[in-house]
Amino acid sequence: MKNMQTLTVGLGERSYPIHIGSGLLTRAELLQKAVPRKRVAIVSNTTVAPLYMEKLQHTLQSIGVVSVTIILPDGEEYKNSDTLNLIYDALLTHRCERTTPLIALGGGVVGDMTGYAAATYLRGVPFIQIPTTLLAQVDSSVGGKTGINHPLGKNMIGAFYQPQLVLADTDTLDTLPDKELAAGLAEVIKYGLIRDLPFLEWLEQNIDKLLARDTVALQYAIARSCQNKAEVVEADERESGERALLNLGHTFGHAIESGMGYGNWLHGEGVAAGTVMAADLSQRLGWIGAQDVARIRGLFERARLPVVAPDLGAEKYLDLMGLDKKVEGGKIRFVLLKQLGRAVVYGDANPELLRQTLAACCK
C-alpha cells in the first residue's frame, strides 16, 4: 500500500482532491494550493485541538501561514446554532475576510459546523476538511453536506457547500477511542450494502483487522469508501436521486439519535441499529431473505455496534421519522435493500409492516 492515495471528487470547476494516508498533517505542500493567503482560521474542539492543533499550525507556519484558532465544546449536543455563533463571533472578532479559508480539524460534528459557517460567513469563504475520525474520513468530510441540528430534528439546518480539499491523515485514528472507530465502521459497511457487494464481502473477511487498526486495511477501507461516496456525489450532488441511498439506516437512526437526546447514541451506532431495522423492513416486503438480515446483523455485531434499537415507542418513532428530510407529501421515504449491494428509496411501506419492524427491532 502506498503511503498516500489521492482520489478526486469530480464536480467540474469545484472538483477537489481527497488525500488519504499516514503523516499528511506535516505535509505542507498538500495544503499550499488551498491556502494561497497568509492567514487561515482553524476550527476544532476541546478534545482534538490538544492532540493535533499544534502540529497543523506548525505545518502551516512552515509555508508562512498564520492561523486563528477557534475551539468549540466537544459533542453532538453542541452541534447547534449557539455553537455556530461562536464560530461567527471569532471570525468577526479576528476580522477574517472572504479569502480567509476555514479549516475543520476534527470529526463530523466539527466538519459539519465549520462547513456551514464557511458556506454562510460573508456569504461563503474557502473551506478545507481535515477529518480526524474514521466516520469523518469515510463519509462526512466528502460531498459537501454541512449543517447543524435543531431541537426538533437532526441536521435540519444546513447547506450543500463543497470543500476545496480533504486531508485524511490516518495517523490521527491512533488516538480515536474504540467506540468511535466502531461508529465509523457503520458508514463503511453502508457502502457495501447499498452499492458495492464485493466490498461488503471484503469487510466480512477483514472486519477484525479494521478493529485491530491494521493500517493497510484501514487505508484500503477509507479509500474504497471515499471512492464510493465520490461517485455518488458526482452523479447527484444535491440529492435529487441516488445520493439519498447514502442514508440507509439513517431515517431510523436519526430518530434514535434525537429521541435519545443528542450525544447519547453515537451517530454510527444509530446508523447500525437503524440499518438492521431497514433490513428487517426490506425482508417483510419480501425483498431480501432472513439469511441476508442475519448476515447484516452479524457484521454489525462483529464490528461491536448495536443491532437492537431503543424502545422509544412506535408513536415517537413515527413522529420523529415524520420529520426526516426525505419525507415527501407527508410520506416517510425509507432507503431499503432490494438485495445485498442494491438499495432503493421506497415511500410506500405498508404502515402495518413498519409497526411490525418497530416492534421486532426495539427493546
Q: Which of 79, 145, 154, 333 is catalytic?
A: 145
Rounded to whole angstroms, how far apart are CA atoms 72 and 49? 9
Q: Which three cell numbers stand for residue 230?
A: 465520490
How many residues touch ligand NAD (CB under 6 A)?
29
| Residue 139 engages ligand NAD in binding (rule: CB under 6 A) | yes
Answer whether 116's CB lies under 8 Å from 89's CB.
Answer: no
| Contact region with ligand NAD (CB under 6 A), list: 128-136, 201-209, 272-280, 282-290 | 128-136
Please confirm, yes or no, whether 250 is among the known catalytic residues. Answer: yes
Rounded to whole angstroms, how far apart are CA atoms 232 and 210? 24
Sign of CA dihedral 93, 96, 97, 102: negative
| Residue 297 engages ligand GLY in binding (rule: CB under 6 A) | no
The residue from 133, 170, 258, 275 that contacts ligand NAD (CB under 6 A) is: 133
Least distance CB 225 / ligand NAD (angstroms): 11
Residue 73's CB is within 10 A of a number of other CB atoms, namely: 13
Total length of the chain:
363
| Residue 132 engages ligand NAD in binding (rule: CB under 6 A) | yes
Could you give the string, one character per residue 43-82, with x where binding to ligand NAD holds by CB under 6 A and - elsewhere? --x-xx--x----------------------x-x--x---
The residue from 79, 154, 195, 243 that contacts ligand GLY (CB under 6 A) is: 243
Least distance CB 2 / ligand GLY (angstroms): 26
Partner whose footprint covers residue 243, from ligand GLY, ligand NAD, none (CB < 5 to 8 Å by kind) = ligand GLY
| Residue 143 engages ligand GLY in binding (rule: CB under 6 A) | yes
Partner whose footprint covers residue 81, from ligand NAD, ligand GLY, none (CB < 5 to 8 Å by kind) = none
Q: Which residue has 454541512 as its cell numbers?
A: 146
Nearest residue to ligand GLY, by Cβ distance, number only:
246
Please confirm, yes or no, whether 94 is among the known catalytic residues. Answer: no
Which is closer to ligand GLY, CB of 70 or CB of 256?
A: 256
| Residue 153 engages ligand GLY in binding (rule: CB under 6 A) | no
| Contact region with ligand NAD (CB under 6 A), list: 138-146, 197-205, 220-228, 330-338 | 138-146
Q: Looking at this protein, which amino acid is placed at residue 80?
A: N
Could you give the string, one character per residue 97-126, with x where binding to ligand NAD holds by CB under 6 A and - elsewhere? ---------xxxxx-x--------------
Please confirm, yes or no, whether 19 is among the known catalytic residues. Answer: no
The residue from 67, 100, 114, 140 that contacts ligand NAD (CB under 6 A) is: 140
The residue from 135, 223, 277, 309 that contacts ligand NAD (CB under 6 A) is: 135
Rounded to whole angstroms, how far apart are CA atoms 43 and 59? 16
- Contacts to ligand NAD by CB under 6 A: 45, 47-48, 51, 74, 76, 79, 106-110, 112, 132-133, 135-136, 139-140, 143, 145, 155, 172, 175-176, 180, 183, 267-268
- Contacts to ligand GLY by CB under 6 A: 139, 143, 145, 243, 246-247
For the annotated catalytic residues, the residue numbers are: 123, 145, 187, 229, 239, 243, 247, 250, 254, 267
